[in-house]
Amino acid sequence: MSDKLPIKAFFLTAAVLLAVSVMSCSHMLVSQPLEIKPPTADPSQPQAARMAEIRWTAAASGGIGSYSYDFLIRRAKEVRVVQSGPLPYWDWSPDEPGKYSVKAIVTDYRENTAESGWSPEYEIVPELMARTITADRPAPQAANMTGIKWSVSSSGGVGPHTYEFHLLKDKSDRVVQTGVSSVWDWKPDRAGLYRIRAVVRDTLGNTAESGWSPEYEIVPELLAEKITADRPAPQAANMTAIKWSVKSSGGIGTHTYEFHVLKGEEDVIMQTDVMPYWDWKPDRPGRYRIKAVVRDTMGNTTESGWSSEYEIVPELLVKMITADRPAPQAANMADIKWAVTAAGGVGKYIYEFHVLKDREDRTVQTGSSPVWIWKPDEAGFYKVRTVVRDALGNTADGKWSPEYEIVPELLVRGPSADKTPPQAANISTVRWTAEAAGGVGGRIYEFHLLKGEKEKIAQTDTSPYWDWEPDTTGAFRVKVVVLDSLGNRADSGWSPEYEIRKFIKSSLVAVLPVENLSGVKAPAKKIGQLIKRELRREGFNIIDNDVLEEFMLKHRVRYTGAIDLKTAESFQKEIGVEAVLITSIELYSEIYPPKISLISRLTSTGSRPAILWMDSVGLSGDDSPGILGLGLIEDPDKLLLDAIRALSADLDMDLWGAEAFSRPLRGIKRDQPSLIISAPESTERMERPSEKIKSGPPSLVVTSPDRTEKSSQGKKPNRDDAGTPLFGPKIFYRSPILSSDMKYRVAIMPFLNKSERKNAGDIMTLHFTEQLREIMNYDVIEPGIVRNNLLGFRIIMNEGISFENAGFIFSTLETDADLILSGTVLDYQDNISVAGAPKVDFSVLVIEKKSREIVWTSKSYRTGDEGVIFFDKGKINVAHSLASGMARGIAEMLLAD
Amino acid sequence: MIKLDIMRMFFTAYLRVTHLRRFVLLFIFILSAVSCASSSTPFYSNPNMDFQSIRTAAVMPFQNLTREQLAADRVRDVFSNMLLSTSEIYVMPPGEVYRGILITGIANPVIPSPEEIIKLAAVIKVDVIITGTVKEYGEVRSGTSSANLISISLQMIEASTGKTIWSASTTRGGITLSDRLLGGGGEPMNDITEKAVRDIIEKILDLR
């Protein structure tokens, strides 16, 4: 547009010059009317106020001479002359918008005037203006975080505007956007101080600037580093706080941190705070991921990204500690195993056992073992607990156990006897007392008896007393083992040796009047006196005859062939007699050759009469005639004295041997067992000792080898080549129930006497009593007790014993028999003169308690001359020897294997 | 049976030897035949009775037809013991039998009636009742010779019916030729009693 202006001016000038030349020529010739056309504007409308210079040109013709021009401008009704002069044009710079009209008046030299008329309206629009540029967000902002809208408003000018946004940083101005949009969306990517301006341009090229904005700060971008935990995974739930922290930079103002936990697909915001860390206390096991979202004050956010999986294992827990034994327990007696179970946590555990007593907490064991063997050594009330640590050091405290009582240690003091040793077997009762303390609950006292190397449990009871009724001789030791209710044992240790003798010679002995079973008149009183004399000579303490007679009178003791329980008790209690000597005359004959048979026994008194000793003798004057009959005895008194001395010597030897058991014996009559189990119940006695050994405790020794030996050393029976006793019965029945391994308590009934010999039944009873007693398998009941029972039950056995009678006898506690031996004597003959031979014929029947059946029957028949081979060699002269041997044979065969 | 076998063997040998030897053998045969004074009668047994079913027996007091007072008791004693010693039959003890007799009130126990036997068996719980008679017991004389002799007979009565199911008798001992020629008084009484009883019991056992 500006390039066209010089060209127009040139043509305008040439036209003017041409017109002047024409006019100068014409006045000379004929002048033309003066005329003028309306002025024209250059440039054309519209134009902006204060933005353009407009040349109005007027073209006049005619007239004379030179022209002068007046330019008039009209706005609304206001007209004013804006220029007068020779210039045919007017350069106009409008200041105010509006609609204008221009006209020119030309005057020539001759003062001719011509008016052009008003030009068309010429519009002047308002000036182009650009206002201050503004951002939609206040500075500062963070790089790469947000878009900032810069906008500028403009007015005036002609036509539509265009906008040019300039960005200034570090004196470098660059156009960042040009266009019709008055808004610039700025996304700064670098930090720094910026200024922005806008240049507005209209269609005529008019420009207006907004001017530079104030400095606009762009801070660095908000960034967050990877989130980190202060503890490595795994960790245990509820056991620790894990500090998650994140580092951030950039952004505007202070940052806020939002910690997220992802478990599965669930994202939970756990903490929002200005602190860049989060103390996480996980309470549930699982696999987690954590992230942090950082936000600045402008709301810009950035994330740390999810962490790798972080495992939370179950919480370390300690279950209740338990003991393998219930309280209470005894100190020093038991090992109590405390065990604890832990779960959860990480890695291996360390267990710390604590014991609390009297408010004092002690650590008693630390280690990897979950078991603590506690050996409490002091009584009191305890509590136990466990502290468990896992590999990460997490600690779980177990609860205190309930109070656990430890009672004092079970102790027992050695048993003491109420009587000083020595004491007599089968007579004395020695009370052993044990003192025990401590332990749990009730106590059981086990009294052990030791003889030699053989030990047995003599009593197991809750009583601390044991009334020992020794029935064998020897040196014994006693100890007590106390068991409490938990089975704790306390051993007293063995007592000093306690000596039991068969009989104490100083004990008072009553010699009962001699019983005459011979069936004929015999000097019983004389024999009794001789016995007393011989016994006194041997050193026995024989009770005074007057005292004995008074006692017998008081108790109306008429029968002197045996002693019953009541009389035995009275003997001991009232006159202090420890044993009675009962002697029976089996045979007495003064006819040549004189013959005498005596059976004697010593029975203890007290509450349990027992046969201490028993022997018999049967002598005939012609037993040992020798050469020329020098050995014949014709004097019955001499024979009687020999018989009595034989008995008293045997009694003395037997009892003396027992009294001096530590010294070598001169001879042994009856085998004494080392130790014999004497079961309290008769049924138990029927058990096989071997079975007891198998089932009993190892320490229990129940053997009596000499007891099962069915032949005594003093009286070895004659046997045939097959080993059968020579005097054994030819006809017999033996039940397999009977066993040589057992011990039987035998009640021997008076034999039924069908022979012509008076008292033969009683005599056979005595023979069996003696012979069975010789064998230790049998415990023969004192015949007086059996007799008393028969009288008590009013049992009269006309034809032998019936099962009903046997039942009565078995039922009594006094006898407490396992076997009942009964029999019938059919013949019992003694030859009174030289001629003839004795004859014994009897049958035996044995009934067993449990089966109530016959376990033995036999028929025995022997004569004294059966063994005679040559000149009466081998002849038996008295039935006593025959019957004794026959009884012995049955006794042995009864338990033969 | 044993004697028949011996005789059969003897005659077989007799036919095989010479005349002189035949004379010697004939003498020995006659001598031994004379010496065997004992004899036994055939016995009766009920063919319908199952003797194996007999488990328990009661031996009643024997009837004594001899002058020896204890003869019956002695024989009964030997018999009871010997029968029990076979372990084949359980024999009630005499005392138990006596108790049964008292309870049932048997007037004459040596020859009880069938009704009494049924009652008794019910009391003492036995399968059979055995009764017996001692016909001979003791020394017998013939001229200057003497020897012991026993002769007994026994009956077995079924307890449930009171019927006799078995009966036998035997005689043992007596004067033999040797007793006549050499004297000596024969075998002891106890020995021949045992032999006689054994003979009887063998017959009982043969039935089982």
Question: What are A371-412's pLDDT values in tens digits?
Answer: 999 999 999 999 999 999 999 888 999 999 999 999 999 999
Residue A813 pLDDT class (50, 70, 90 cuts): low
Dump pLDDT digits (tens) for A722-743.
Answer: 556 678 888 999 988 888 888 8
Task: Answer whether A730 touches B (CB < 8 Å).
Answer: yes
Mean pLDDT confidence for A768-793: 89
Q: Look at residue A64 in the predicted model and tell me its pLDDT.
A: 84
| pLDDT tier for residue B187 given thresholds of 50, 70 and 90 | confident
Listed in sequence order, the residues at least 6 apart from A181 whose beta carbon sits closer than 8 Å to its beta carbon are: A163
Q: Rounded mean pLDDT of A523-535?
A: 91
pLDDT at A146 (0 to 100): 85
Q: What phi, psi does B71 have (nearest 5°)? A: -55, -50
Q: Answer whether A289's CB lies under 8 Å from A309's CB.
A: yes
Q: What is the pLDDT of residue A30?
A: 61
What band does A753 get if pLDDT is binned at 50, 70 and 90? very high
What confidence score (pLDDT) does residue A872 get?
Answer: 65
- Binary contact (A859, B81; C-beta < 8 A): yes
Residues with Cβ within 8 Å of residue A755, at least 6 apart in sequence: A825, A826, A827, A828, A829, A841, B70
Residue A675, pLDDT score: 27
List of chain A residues whose C-beta atoms are within 8 Å of the C-beta of residue B96: 802-804
Q: Identify the three-state secondary structure at position A640.
A: helix
Report how far residue A728's alpha carbon sits from residue A738's, in angstroms, rounded to the nearest whole number: 17
A861 touches chain B (CB under 8 A): yes
Strands (E), A635-699: none
pLDDT at res. B2: 43
**pLDDT for residue A681:** 34
Of A123-132, A149-158, A550-559, A699-708, the least confident: A699-708
Judged by CB atoms closer than 8 Å, whether chains meet at A845 and B93 is answered as yes
Which B residues, 151 through 190, put their C-beta within 8 Å of a C-beta on chain A? 188, 190
Q: Count CB atoms within 10 A of the CB of residue A170.
A: 7
pLDDT one-digit tens code per residue, A330-381: 898 888 999 999 999 989 999 999 999 988 999 999 999 999 999 999 999 9
Helices (H), A305-373: none
- CA A809, CA A749: separation in Å to the nearest integer? 10
State the amino acid at position A305 in one-letter form. Answer: G
Q: What is the pLDDT of residue A5?
A: 60
- Cα A654 to Cα A663: distance, rounded to the nearest angstrom: 13
What's the confidence (pLDDT) of residue B193? Answer: 93
Does the pLDDT value for residue A705 go beyond 90? no
Q: Which of A224-233, A240-249, A706-715, B70-79 has the lowest mean pLDDT?
A: A706-715
So what's the pLDDT on residue A674?
A: 29
* A206/A198 Cα distance (integer angstroms): 14
Helix (H) or strand (E) holding A239: none
The DSSP bridge pattern shows strands A778-780 and A744-748 to be parallel
Cα separation, A587 vs A601, in Å, equals: 17
Average pLDDT over residues A89-113: 90
User: Å from B70 to nearest chain A CA?
Assistant: 8
- Most A CBs within 10 A among B84, B198, B200, hence the mutation to make, goes to B84
Closest CA to A519 of A761, A748, A750, A752: A761
Whether the pLDDT of residue B167 is over 90: the answer is: yes
Residue A109 has what pLDDT?
Answer: 85
Q: Specify the pLDDT at position B10.
A: 56
Range with the poorest average pLDDT among A139-143, A291-295, A660-664: A660-664
How does pLDDT run across A27-79, given as a tens digit for each residue? 455 668 888 988 999 998 899 998 889 999 988 888 888 889 999 999 888 89
Confidence of residue A471 (pLDDT cuts 50, 70, 90): confident
Whether pLDDT at B182 is above 50: yes
Closest CA to A186 of A131, A142, A250: A142
Pick the residue from chain A with its C-alpha nearest to B198: A731
Burial code (b: 16+ CB inside 10 Å, e: under 16) for B108-138 equals ebeebeeebbbbbbebbebbbbbbbbbbbbe
Give the B window 62-91 contacts with A, CB below 8 Å: 70, 73-74, 77-78, 80-82, 84-85, 87, 90-91
pTM equals 0.58
Predicted local confidence at residue A725, as pLDDT: 65
Instruction: Give me the pLDDT at residue B18, please.
Output: 57
Rounded to 10 deg, the angle between the A783-792 and A565-575 helix axes is 120
Closest CA to A48 of A278, A208, A285, A212: A208
CA distance A715 to A887: 13
Work out the burial of residue A803: count CB atoms within 10 Å of its CB; fewer than 13 is exposed, 13-18 middle, 19 or more buried.
middle
Q: Are β-strands A577-589 and A595-604 bridged in parallel, bridged antiparallel, or unpaired?
A: antiparallel
Average pLDDT, chain A: 84
Please indicate whether, in this complex, the C-beta atoms of B190 and A857 are within 8 angstroms of each other. Answer: no
Compute the average pLDDT of residues A670-696.
32
In B, which residues are within 8 Å of A854 by CB distance?
84, 90-91, 93
How far apart CA A178 and CA A650 sit, in angstroms, is 156
- DSSP string across B19-34: HHHHHHHHHHHHHHHH
Residues 6 or more apart whose CB falls under 8 angstroms from that of B67 comprise B138
Confidence of residue B14 (pLDDT cuts 50, 70, 90): low
Q: Do A732 and B85 touch (CB under 8 A)?
A: yes
pLDDT for position A311: 92
pLDDT at A12 (0 to 100):
77
| Average confidence (pLDDT) over A698-717 | 32
The region of weakest confidence among A130-134, A287-291, B18-22, B51-55 is B18-22
A658 or A512: which carries more pLDDT confidence?
A512
Question: What is the arithmetic mean of pLDDT over A643-648?
Answer: 89
pLDDT at res. B25: 57
- Residues A106 and A86: their CA atoms lie apart, in Å, by 9
Q: Which of A78, A61, A62, A58 is nearest to A70 (CA)?
A: A58
Q: Which residue of B lies nearest to A751 if distances are taken between CA atoms?
A: B95
Contact A798 B98 (CB under 8 A): yes
Residue in chain A nearest B99 by alpha carbon = A802
Query: What local confidence, expressed as pLDDT, does residue B28 receive?
Result: 57
pLDDT in tens, A490-519: 999 999 999 888 777 788 999 999 999 998
The tokens for A310 are: 């972080």
Judged against a pLDDT cut of 70, whether residue B5 lies above it is answered with no
**What integer is the mean pLDDT of A565-572?**
92
Cβ–Cβ of B78/A731 closer than 8 Å? yes
pLDDT digits (tens, 9 = 90+) for A171-195: 899 999 999 999 999 999 989 999 9
- Pairwise pLDDT comparison (B43 vs A706), residue with the higher score: B43
pLDDT of residue A671: 39
CB pairs under 8 A between A and B: 73
The pLDDT of residue A727 is 81
